[in-house]
Amino acid sequence: MKDRSKLTTEKRNLKTADIDRRSTIEIVDIINSQDMLVAPAVAKQRKRIAAAVDVIVRRFNSGGRLFYVGAGTSGRLGVLDAAECPPTYGVKPSMVQGIIAGGRRALVRSVEGAEDIADNGAKAIAKKNLKPTDVVVGIAACGITPFVLGAMRKAKQIGAATIFITCAPQAVKYIPADIIINPVVGPEVITGSTRMKAGTATKLVLNTITTAAMIKIGKVYGNLMVDLRATNEKLEDRSERIIMETTGLSRLAAKSLLKKADGLVKPAIVMKVKKVDLKAALKILRDCGQSLRYAISK
């Protein structure tokens, strides 16, 4: 697709055409009113998002990995979502990975032209030793970023599952993916600035995908992140409070139990409820597919 002017993400927003003449509070209100369009647009994609989650969960359960591929804001959002999975859910960094056009440097500084070479996207995904059990999620607000499309075509050749997130309905027919998630948020407040509504929509979709997938593979009990890694004081405090809430222990007792469990919240809870040591708790969890709910109720 050569004519980008036809893309929703590149069109002018008539409701913000005179935004440069507005007062500060009016500018803030206009941006806020446009942001209110994002959540409903994402909600319309709920079935496709759920389908994507189910695909990812099946691949996770088969030992597969999840890769995000994007450029600019889209790439940074993918890397961000991947980076937050290990501390939040206790997964290995290799399980969810982000690939951005231009590499690490592009995370903090624009790398001009990095997104324009499709072959570089294919090479980037090939370097990950991609397997048919893996999932590749392409992220491109405009839907036509060559780097991302190159990665997607390579992923399909290898046999990996493919998912694509775009805010441009005009690009859908050109996208090589098994599932396409297309929240249409309309033209941006500032023409073409997809770090705004499109970026917000993308963040919502990514949050939903990984959160739902982690819930489905047993990383959450109720709404508690029982597989978190206590890597700082905030997470240590949260770990103790989770144990306190689920077992009724005091803060001091929870701290002591967490230490006996080598800092692992989920086994600590099993140790208390089932009255076993760490080794036995770990075995119970393995036998229950890492589901805490099943482990403490059987």
Query: What are the residues whose beta carbons fall under 8 Å from the beta carbon of 177, sequence distance 6 or more?
Result: 138, 152, 156, 162, 163, 164
DSSP 209-254: HHHHHHHHTT--BTTB-TT----SHHHHHHHHHHHHHHH---HHHH
Q: Is 165 left (phi over 0), alpha (psi -120 to 50) or beta?
A: beta
**How many other CB atoms are found less than 10 A from the CB of residue 240?**
23
CA-to-CA separations, 220 to 215, 224, 259, in angstroms, rounded? 5, 6, 21
- Respond yes or no: is residue 84 known to be catalytic: yes
Of 156, 97, 95, 96, nearest to 122 by C-alpha is 156
Strands 66-70 and 161-165: unpaired
Catalytic option among 10, 26, 84, 112: 84
The distance between the two most distant Cα atoms of the chain, rounded to a whole number of Å, is 69
Of 291, 250, 238, nearest to 267 by C-alpha is 291
Query: What are the residues whose beta carbons fall under 8 Å from the beta carbon of 239, sequence distance 6 or more?
Result: 228, 230, 258, 263, 265
Is residue 179 helix, strand or coil? strand
Catalytic option among 10, 115, 188, 240: 115
**Which residue type does 69 have?**
V
Strands, E assignment, the chain: 66-70, 96-100, 135-139, 161-165, 179-181
Residues with a known catalytic role = 84, 115
